[in-house]
Amino acid sequence: MKLIIMGAPGAGKGTQSAKISEKWNIPAVSTGDMLRAAVKEGTPMGVTAKSYMDAGQLVPDEVVIGIIKDYLSSDQCSNGFILDGFPRSIPQAEALDAMGVKMDAVLSIEVPDEKIVERMSGRRICSGCGASYHVLYNPPKATDVCDACGASLYIRDDDAAETVLKRLNTYHGTTEPLKDFYAAKGLLICVEGREKVEDTTAAVMQALSQFEA
């Protein structure tokens, strides 16, 4: 199974991709997580990436295309994979095609802009494993502590309200055209993102059941 998950920032791509990864036993790769790891390590790529991310802009195509190329050529991807946050522009999608990667489906999680803004303000990320929480909709058992690994939770720099609006603009302008691109290939599946994580997961699993072996 080779799956792309797309959706506005904060639509719940990461959360759903973790669920699918577990159920289907295939790795999930988030370009956002990889970029944040590079930022944390302070690599030259991380330093470049941070300025774009904090401004709510996309990191240049050649940077993310490079990371994805390395990842997809590794052994762990031989049984399939989930791409979370890639491609995010038409040139990135074309680069994926040029790598000879044939996707099975593209899942778009649809959430209205007003909801996105509300959600992002409550988002918390684990500093240890990258798991994502929401203070109202998906709270950790103990405040600001990760259920999975016990590390502390933090607020992402790019979740500041004005940056969220910029990221939404970037999404509508640059990423959303991918829906037509993949619909034309017959790959697009749209699922409505719900208030509750479990409800969205149920809708996602239902939509993907047609691919079950």
Nearer to ligand ADP, 84 or 188 (CB): 84
Q: Give 188's strand partners.
A: 106
86, interface contact from ligand ADP, Zn ion, none, CB < 5-8 Å by kind: ligand ADP
Per rule CB under 6 A, is residue 108 in the interface with ligand ADP? no
108, interface contact from ligand ADP, Zn ion, none, CB < 5-8 Å by kind: none
Per rule CB under 6 A, is residue 197 in the interface with ligand ADP? no
Per rule CB under 6 A, is residue 53 in the interface with ligand ADP? yes
Cα separation, 182 vs 156, whole angstroms: 30
Q: Which of 97, 114, 150, 107 is nearest to 17 (CA)?
A: 107
The backbone torsions φ and ψ at residue 115, rounded to the nearest 5 degrees and listed phi first, read -65, -40
Provide the minimum distance between the beta carbon of 49 and ligand ADP in the complex, in angstroms, as a whole number.
7
Per rule CB under 6 A, is residue 64 in the interface with ligand ADP? yes
Peptide bond into 91 cis (omega under 30): no
Q: Are 200 and 16 in contact (CB under 8 A)?
A: yes
Residue nearest to ligand ADP (CB): 32
Q: How many CB atoms lie within 10 A of CB 139?
A: 14
The backbone torsions φ and ψ at residue 197, rounded to the nearest 5 degrees and listed phi first, read -55, -45
149, interface contact from Zn ion, ligand ADP, none, CB < 5-8 Å by kind: Zn ion
Cα separation, 137 vs 12, whole angstroms: 11
Nearer to ligand ADP, 10 or 193 (CB): 10
User: Near Zn ion by CB under 5 A, which window of 108-116, 133-141, 148-156, 165-173?
Assistant: 148-156
Site for ligand ADP, rule CB under 6 A = 9-10, 13, 30-32, 35, 52-53, 57-59, 64, 85-86, 88, 92, 158, 167
